[in-house]
Amino acid sequence: MNTSTSKLSSLQPEQLAAWAKEAINRSKSGQVPAYVPLLAEADREWFAVQIQAIDGEILSWGSIDRTFPLMSAVKPFVLLYLLCELGEKTVFDGVGCDASELAFNSLTQLEIDRGKPRNPMINSGAIALASLIPGNNAAARCQNLRTWLNQQANSQLFVDELMLDSVNQKRNQNNRDLALAMVKSGYLQNSEIALETYNQVCCLSGTVEDLAKLGMVLVNSGESLWENCRTVKALMATCGLYEASGRFALRVGLPAKSGVSGALLAVIPGEGAIGCYSPPLDREGNSVGGLFLLEQIAKNLRLSVFD
Ligand code: GLN
């Protein structure tokens, strides 16, 4: 007998398909990023979603076999890994936990904060945290994170080497300036290894299934992880969509994290996780189609944590 209690499992495939198609339509107003050549090649109509409910039900739509780099959607999991490996004190000595009001790669934000990264969900914070990942070099650090995440989530994340080449092809002066400013302020020791590690972990790639499975780690957190998972979910809710996080709380009301690839993860505490991929982005760098779909799902199924 199915004793399903998940609100998510009441979602009908036809309904999901209809919302997804409308999401593709809406995403036409977005832009694919130009600063990583391979991301710029993404087809604007690519779309995939996987919804995983806590009772095991899975619903998906679109190109679910397509892989994409997590980019900033990896940031909550860098944070989780380090909270587990190094503890809260070390992590939050190096990075703040307040919401940001400027763009995810803003040097001005870092300067306002006198060189301390405002939170782990923006580039400065993630670059600072990347420098704390154990390992002798960037590849070893990324490998350590990858192995741990795949174990926790039962996912199949891999480093997309072509994407990494593409990221390295055009020097990202902005991220470099952030790193140098943090070396100056004492929040970073070695800018090179921090940036290299950051670029590698951003190129950890997988499918929407992998993304949803990562989200489930935050939902199913066992006894040893629940406190760290709560911290990560709280920071996703307040900072995960950068300066749009407050607006998103009203519109959707779920802990979420976006990436510049068009990845978007939402976590529904006690219910499940939604992994979505749709490349066109809005002004803040969040997936237009992904946000639309999440809004439909959350409103219609009353999934907001504030409902
Ligand atoms: N690697 C990307 C960058 O540094 C990640 C940023 C993002 O996904 N928002 O620009």
Starting at the edge strand that comes first in sequence, how are the strands of the sheet with 204-206 ordered?
68-69, 204-206, 158-159
Tens-binned pLDDT, residue by residue, of the chain (307 aa) = 445 567 888 899 999 999 999 999 999 999 999 999 999 999 999 999 999 999 999 999 999 999 999 999 999 999 999 999 999 999 999 999 999 999 999 999 999 999 999 999 999 999 999 999 999 999 999 999 999 999 999 999 999 999 999 999 988 999 999 999 999 999 999 999 999 999 999 999 999 999 999 999 999 988 889 999 999 999 999 999 999 999 999 999 999 999 999 999 999 999 999 999 999 999 999 999 999 999 999 999 999 999 9
Q: What pLDDT does residue 224 have?
A: 87
Q: Is the CB of 152 under 6 A from ligand 1?
A: no
* 292/297 Cα distance (integer angstroms): 9
Q: Is the CB of 104 under 6 A from ligand 1?
A: yes
**How many angstroms separate the alpha carbon of residue 105 from the centre of ligand 1?**
8
Q: Is the CB of 202 under 6 A from ligand 1?
A: yes
Q: Is the CB of 207 under 6 A from ligand 1?
A: no
Please report the atom of ligand 1 found closest to the CA of residue 263: 8
Instruction: Return the closest-CA partner of residue 155 out of 206, 222, 82.
Output: 206
Both tokens of residue 117?
């990264």
* 102/288 Cα distance (integer angstroms): 19
Q: What pLDDT does residue 1 have?
A: 43
The predicted model scores a pTM of: 0.97
Domains along the chain?
Answer: 3-67+206-301 (3.40.710.10), 72-204 (3.40.710.10)
Which runs of consecutive H residues, i.e. helices, occur in the chain?
A: 13-26, 37-40, 75-86, 88-94, 107-112, 123-130, 138-153, 161-169, 173-185, 191-202, 208-219, 226-239, 245-251, 288-301
Instruction: Return the closest-CA partner of residue 165 out of 3, 36, 6, 17.
Output: 36
Top mutation candidate among 105, 159, 191 for ligand 1, by most atoms within 8 Å of CB: 105
Residue 80, CB-side half-sphere exposure with 13 Å CA sphere = 28
Top mutation candidate among 166, 171, 202, 204 for ligand 1, by most atoms within 8 Å of CB: 202
* 276/83 Cα distance (integer angstroms): 26
Residue 289, CB-side half-sphere exposure with 13 Å CA sphere = 30
CA end-to-end span of the chain: 29
Please report the atom of ligand 1 found closest to the CA of residue 285: 9
Instruction: Return the closest-CA partner of residue 230 out of 103, 115, 84.
Output: 84
Please report the atom of ligand 1 found closest to the CA of residue 260: 8
Q: What pLDDT does residue 5 have?
A: 63
Whole-Å CA distances, 73 to 22, 34, 114, 214: 23, 19, 26, 10
**How many angstroms separate the alpha carbon of residue 127 from the centre of ligand 1?**
10
Q: What pLDDT does residue 223 have?
A: 86
Note whether 65 and 77 are within 8 A (CB): no
Q: Is the CB of 19 under 6 A from ligand 1?
A: no
Q: Is the CB of 126 under 6 A from ligand 1?
A: no
